Structure 1
Amino acid sequence: MRKLLATGALMVLSALPAFAQAPQLDPGEKLEKLQFPAVTMQIKGWTKFGNSHVFTLPVKAGQHVKISFTTRSQFAFLAIFDLSKGDDEAFFGTDEDGSVLDTIAKEDTTWMLRPYYSKVSPRRGLGAPYTLMIEPQAPGTAPPAAKSEEPQRPSLFPPKSGADEEE
């Protein structure tokens, strides 16, 4: 009996990494597994609540990739998740980060690309068309540098001039 329990526990523990890699789908979503493209890949689709496509994209450490999301709707967005991480947070979202992700993968992993239509926005209709571009970049090219400075915020007071500082 102990041998049977130990074998069962070993099987469950060995299957855990496989479950961690499987994406969590919402009802009605369909999973489409992509391969990392050799040339630019264009995917046209429709975000529709309850009937959408979700994509997985395997990436290797050091691969430089550019992912662009375009849509005519102001309520359609793209979220990209790293399935090797245990959290539910997207590491990139077009609602906050802009419409283009240009990055170099730090480790071998699988990303989940989820186009979605915002449920909280006042809207008409059930979805919106989108275009998703996955562009492999040449090795050795660096992504554009992120701005490290804080954006300039307007001030109520004008900057001090050199004459004012001496007084």
Structure 2
Amino acid sequence: MKKLKLMAMAIAISAIAPAAMAQTPELQRGERLEKLQFPAATMELKGWTKFGNGKVYTLPVKAGQHVKIDFSTKSQFAFLAIFDLAAPDDEAIFGTDEDGQTFQTTVKQDATWLLRPYYSKASPRRGLGAPYSILVEPQAASSAPATTEPAPAPADDSKPSPLFPSRK
């Protein structure tokens, strides 16, 4: 009986462990993790990208949420990469170096994103970092705008068109 319980516990832990590890980001040396909650209103994160010494953020998102993330900086060498911690690869789902400064999406499935501002090591630059600002904005569900004007009436074939007089 005791062996059976231990075996069941080992199976449960082995099933849960990969999911838990997938949600825990691997930090680079000197990085500090700040866990966020999905905001009800616009949230602004300000910081400084430091060479090997900066903040990274985790943001839990739920399926169906609409979100917009804006990254701004005065430096041409500071960027933001967003990773899905549940994804099996280390590929970013968004990066300001290639995709622009704004990421806007509707979340397809529950996930935890890692927002990693960084200072490019590959670019020639001066200094060891740059200030940045990240705006996380929940968006309203996109829907067709409500119209107050009545729909045009269908054309009446019995009346002649004023633009195109009838041929006789």
Instruction: Classify the TM-score, shorter chain.
Output: 0.7 to 0.9
1:94 equivalent in alignment to 2:103: no
Corresponding letter in the other structure for 1:53: K
The equivalent residue for 2:140 is: 138
The equivalent position to 1:30 in structure 2, one of 29, 32, 36, is 32
CA positional deviation for 1:51: 1.2
The equivalent residue for 1:64 is: 66
The equivalent residue for 1:104 is: 106
The equivalent residue for 1:164 is: none
Question: Structure 2 vs 1, CA of residues 9 and 108 (structure 1 numbering), >3 Å: closer, same or farther?
Answer: closer
Q: Which runs of 5+ in 2 are unaligned?
A: 145-168
Within 5 A, what are the aligned runs for 1:47-62?
A: 47-62=49-64
Q: Which runs of 5+ in 1 are unaligned?
A: 143-167
Report % sequence identity: 64
Distance 2:14 2:56 in 1: 27
Say which one has the larger Rg. 2
Corresponding letter in the other structure for 1:78: L
When the two chains are superposed, the root-mean-square deviation of aligned CA atoms in Å is 1.8
CA positional deviation for 1:23: 0.8
1:121 equivalent in alignment to 2:123: yes
Corresponding letter in the other structure for 2:98: E
The equivalent residue for 1:17 is: 19
CA positional deviation for 1:119: 0.5
Question: Structure 2 vs 1, CA of residues 141 and 51 (structure 1 numbering), >3 Å: closer, same or farther?
Answer: farther
The equivalent residue for 1:165 is: none
Corresponding letter in the other structure for 2:52: G
CA positional deviation for 1:77: 0.2
Distance 2:6 2:108 in 1: 39
Once the two structures are superposed, what CA deviation does each residue of 1:13-71 show, in whole Å capped at 9, x if it has no partner? 43221011111110110010111111111111000012110001111111111100000
Aligned length: 142
Once the two structures are superposed, what CA deviation does each residue of 1:102-142 show, in whole Å capped at 9, x if it has no partner? 11101111111000000111111110000100011112359
Distance 1:100 1:46 in 2: 19
Once the two structures are superposed, what CA deviation does each residue of 1:66-112 show, in whole Å capped at 9, x if it has no partner? 10000000000000001111110001000000000011101111111
